[in-house]
Amino acid sequence: MAEPTRRDFLYIATGAAAVVGVGSVAWPLVSQMNPDASTLALASTEVDVSSIAEDSILTVKWRGKPVFVRHRTAKEIQEAQSVATASLIDPQSDQDRVKQSTLAGKARPEWLVVIGVCTHLGCVPLGHQGDYDGWFCPCHGSQYDPSGRVRRGPAPKNLEVPTYAFTADTKLTIG
């Protein structure tokens, strides 16, 4: 095999520069479409829950999405807890869904906090509707129970539970 020539060196160096160059320009072009710093900064929202009467739902906006804060009745909690978890589309116990609803170590299962976006195609479900009196999505007919768990498709998953915490008796911080 012949000695590498100056031409071989230029060939490889130019090719390497082209590969690195394309890669380093392609990534910023893709990344610029992701949420920018100002969008990421809107991370948390404070809610005063004292105005939410039992058996009613407050809708608040968090990161541009609706969040439902539902003040559940004792009957709803009891029913949600007694469902056979394994029979659900997306099995999850009610206790698991409200485990963040605590204040000073005391559970508050009457407060359910879920993102108000149907897990099918993103519509906002309507509260106190459907066969389970939880939520009903008007777009494609998905139904959720008062725990925000999907009970009838096409939605594949339960309503998402955001990160939240009660910082005082009536003060809820989402995000």
Which residues are catalytic, by number? 140
Pick one of 14, 138, 163, 170: the residue that binds other proteins (CB under 8 A).
Answer: 138
The burial class, CB within 10 Å (0-12 / 13-18 / 19+), for 6 is: exposed
Give the range of 20-28, 60-68, 80-88, 103-111 binding other proteins by CB under 8 A: 60-68
Q: Does 91 bind other proteins (CB under 8 A)?
A: no
- ∠ CA(164), CA(113), CA(93), 5° rounding? 105
Q: Are 154 and 140 in contact (CB under 8 A)?
A: yes
Q: Does 56 bind other proteins (CB under 8 A)?
A: no
Pick one of 5, 34, 50, 82: the residue that binds other proteins (CB under 8 A).
Answer: 34
Query: How far is it between the farthest Cα atoms of the chain?
Result: 87
We find the least distance from the C-beta atom of residue 95 to other proteins, in angstroms, to be 26
Place of tokens 């003040």: 71
Q: Does 149 bind other proteins (CB under 8 A)?
A: no
Q: Does 128 bind other proteins (CB under 8 A)?
A: no
* Smaller CB separation from other proteins, 5 or 31: 31
Q: Does 61 bind other proteins (CB under 8 A)?
A: yes
* Smaller CB separation from other proteins, 94 or 164: 164
Q: Are 141 and 152 in contact (CB under 8 A)?
A: yes
Tokens found for residue 71:
């003040």
Q: Are 118 and 134 in contact (CB under 8 A)?
A: no
Cα torsion 89, 75, 125, 50: sign: negative
* Smaller CB separation from other proteins, 94 or 142: 142
* Smaller CB separation from other proteins, 80 or 113: 113
* Secondary structure class of 89 (helix, strand, coil): coil
Instruction: Name the site residues for other proteins (rule: CB under 8 A).
Output: 30, 33-36, 39, 59, 61, 63-66, 116-117, 120-126, 137-141, 153-156
